[in-house]
Amino acid sequence: MMRFFHRQFHCRFALLSCLGLGFASAQAAVIESEVCVYGGTSGGVAAAVQAARMGKSTVIAEPGKHLGGMTSGGLSAVDIGDPRSVGGIAREYFTQLAATVGVVLAWDKPFVAKGGGPATGGAYAIEPHKAEGVFDAMAREAGVKVHFKARLARAVKDGARITEIVTEDGTVFRAKMFIDATYEGDLMAKAGVSYSLMREGNAKYGETYNGIYYDEKYRPRTGHLMPGETGRVTGGQGVWDRDFPLDPYVIKGDPKSGLLPLIQEGEPGTPGEAAPGVQAYCYRLCLTTDPANSIPIAPPPGYDPKRYEIVVRFIEACLANGDDMDLRWFSKYDALPNQKWDFNTATFGGNLPGASHEWPEATYARRDEIAKEHENYHRGLLHFLATDSRVPEKVRQDMKRFGLPKDEFKDTGGWPHQIYVREARRMVSDLVLTEHHTFGREVAPKPISLGSYGTDTHEIRRIVKDGVVIREGKTAGGRGGFGPYHIGYDCIVPKQAECDNLLVTFALSCSHTAFSSLRMEPVFMVTSQSAATAAVMAIEDQTPIQKVDYAKLRQRLDQDGQVLEWKHGNSGAH
C-alpha cells in the first residue's frame, strides 16, 4: 500500500510540474543529470544542446520563464563583429533563424560598412518570438530537460566540487558538471569562486581604457556636424551619441539648487584609477509600426515630465546646433521583419546609468525592483517624447508611430522579459583576458572561441564634471586594426582550488575593458558550446575541469565546426 502511495504521489507531482504548478519546499524535487547548465541564456542553450548531443543527460535550470536571454529578449539586430569568426551551434542557430524569413546568411564574408558606421551586423535581424522558438526547438530536439523559475539559493560543495545546487523553492539539482551561463555569474559566486566588480585601474594590467575613463569622442561640446541619411556624421558617429555641455542644476548655474533627475552624485575621479560600477543597462525594445499589431506604450504610474528636464535641455542644445531632430536622436533603431524595429539606446535613450550598479549582487526580489525602475524610466521617456510640447513636432509624430507588438512578449504585455545586463561579475582565474589580448599584443593559449567586436563600453555614470553633464566610462572604438582574437580555455575555468567541476562562460575571467569587446551574444554561444564539450570530456576522463586534455578538446571542437583560429588576416576587423 505504501509503495502504491509513493508511486501515485510521484505521478501527480510529475503532472503538476508539467503544468507549471509548484509544491512546497517540503516536497521539493531532486533533479539528477550529468551536466547542469545554470542559466537558459543563448549560451546556456548552446551548452546544453552540445552536452546532450554528446550523449550526456543534461538539464537547464533557468531563473526566469524563457530561453535565449537577450537574443530572444529584444536584442534583435545582433552585433557579431566578423561572421567568419563564428561557428558551431551559434552558426547553426542563426542559420535556422534566418531561414524562418527566407534569408540565407553569408558566413564566408565579412560585413560591409554602410553609411559610415561600423560593419558589425544587422543582417541577423530577428523577431524575438521566432528567436525563442528556435531555442526551444533546439533544446527539445536534443533532449534537454528545462526547468524554469529556478532561482538559485545556494551551492553545496564537497571540497572543490559542487555536488548540488538548491533553488529558492527547494528544488535540488545534482550533477557531475555545472556550467554557469548567467549574465551575472550567480552560480560562480554561490560556489565561492573569485570574481571582481571593479573596473580595474590601468596600472593593474598595464591597460589604457580601464578604471575612470573620459573619451574625447564623448566630451561635451558644441558644433556637432550635421548627419547624413543614415543618421551618422562624417567619421561614423551617430546623432544618437551627441554630448553637449548641459547645465545639470535645477536652477541653471546654481549648484545649491541640486542636481536634476537622471544625473548622479559623485566626484569625477582621476582617469585610470580603479572604480566600481558596471555598464548601464536598458531594455532593447521591439516596437512595431503596424497598427493592427500595436499596443500603445502607456506611461508608468506616477509619470512626471519633470524627471526628463535634462532631456529638454538636450533638445534645446540640439536645436541651437541646427539639428533637424527626429526620433533617431533618442534611439538608433534597426528594421526587423514584419514592420518591427529593434530600439537601441542613445545619449538620452533607454540606458539608465547608475541604476545597474546594484544589480550583480542584488537579491532576485531587488533585481525585480531594479528592472521595473528601468522599465518605468523608459516608458516615461517614450511617453514624454510622444506628448510633451517641448519636444519637436517631428520627434513627437515619429514616436507616435510606434507601439509594443501584440505578438511579442505576450506574458509581459509586449515589454521584453529580459533586461540587458551588459556587465556584471567577472571571474578572476589563472588567466585574465585584458586589452592586450583583444588588441593583439598578447595571444591567449588554448583558444576555445574568438572575439571580434570593437571596444564598446556603455557609460558607467552620468555625472557632473567641470560644471556640465558628462558620460563617464563610455568608449566606442576599435582594437587597433587587429582581427579576431583568442578567448582561451583557462579564462572559463576557475582556479582549481576554488572549484573543479564548474565552467563560467558569460562572467568569464577578463578585465572590464576586455569584456567590453567580447560581450557579444554569438561569442557567448560559441564559448558555451566549447565549455560543454570540455565538461563532457571531464566526466568521461574522470578529471577536474582544469585538467581536460586540450589537444583532445581541440580535435572535437574542430570536428563540430567551431572557428578557433583566424585565417583571413587583419583586414575588416575592429
How far separated are the first and last CA of the chain, in Å rounded? 69
| Per-residue 3-state assignment (H helix, E strand, C coil) for 311-337 | HHHHHHHHHHCCCCCCHHHCCCEEEEC
Q: Quick check: 411 and 65 in contact, CB under 8 A?
A: yes
pLDDT at 463: 98
Q: Quick check: 192 and 499 in contact, CB under 8 A?
A: yes
- pLDDT over 90 (residue 124): no
Q: What DSSP line would sit under 470-482, residue for residue?
A: EEET-EEE--TT-
Q: CA 518 from chain center: how many Å?
A: 11
Per-residue pLDDT of 32-72, as tens digits, reads 999 999 999 999 999 999 999 999 999 999 999 999 999 99
- pLDDT over 50 (residue 17): no
Higher pLDDT, 19 or 250: 250
pLDDT at 400: 98
Per-residue pLDDT of 187-242, as tens digits, reads 999 999 999 999 999 999 999 999 999 999 999 999 999 999 989 999 889 999 99
pLDDT at 501: 98
- pLDDT over 60 (residue 572): no
pLDDT at 19: 34
Q: What percent of the chain has pLDDT over 70?
A: 92
Distant-in-sequence, close-in-space partners of 102: CB < 8 Å, separation ≥ 6: none
Taking residues 69-94, what's their average pLDDT?
Answer: 90
Per-residue pLDDT of 300-354, as tens digits, reads 999 999 999 999 999 999 999 999 999 999 999 999 999 999 999 999 999 999 9
pLDDT at 375: 98
- pLDDT over 80 (residue 134): yes
Q: How confident is the model at residue 3 (pLDDT cuts 50, 70, 90)?
A: very low
Per-residue pLDDT of 378-400, as tens digits, reads 999 999 999 999 999 999 999 99
Q: How confident is the model at residue 122 (pLDDT cuts 50, 70, 90)?
A: low
- Strand arrangement, sheet containing 30-32: 30-32, 172-174, 161-167, 152-158
Q: What percent of the chain has pLDDT over 90?
A: 86
Query: Cell 548601464 sits at which residue?
Result: 280
pLDDT at 78: 79
What's at 567, amino acid-wise? K
Q: Which fold has domain 30-200+424-452+477-560?
A: FAD/NAD(P)-binding domain (3.50.50)
Q: What DSSP line would sit under 90-136, residue for residue?
A: HHHHHHHHHHTTT----TTS-----TTS---EEEEE--HHHHHHHHH
Look over the chain and give the mean of its residue pLDDT values, rounded to a whole number.
Answer: 92
Query: Cell 575541469 sits at which residue?
Result: 545
Q: How confident is the model at residue 120 (pLDDT cuts 50, 70, 90)?
A: low
Tell me 252's DSSP state: T
Q: Which grid coordinates belong to 516?
A: 567590453
Q: Which of 82-86, 393-397, 558-562 has the lowest mean pLDDT?
A: 82-86
**Which DSSP helix (H) or strand (E) runs through 42?**
helix 42-53
- pLDDT over 70 (residue 482): yes
Distant-in-sequence, close-in-space partners of 315: CB < 8 Å, separation ≥ 6: 325, 390, 391, 392
- Give the C-alpha separation, 224 to 234, whole Å: 11
Q: How confident is the model at residue 115 (pLDDT cuts 50, 70, 90)?
A: low
Q: Which of 24-28, 453-457, 482-486 has the lowest mean pLDDT?
A: 24-28
Extents of the domains making up the chain: 30-200+424-452+477-560, 215-267+280-405
Crossing angle for the helix pair 88-99 and 521-541, to the nearest 10 degrees: 130
Q: Quick check: 454 and 479 in contact, CB under 8 A?
A: yes
Q: Which grid coordinates belong to 163?
A: 555536488
pLDDT at 79: 74
pLDDT at 569: 66
Predicted TM-score of the model (pTM)? 0.93
CA dihedral 332, 338, 339, 340 (to 10 degrees): -40
Query: Cell 590601468 sits at which residue?
Result: 202
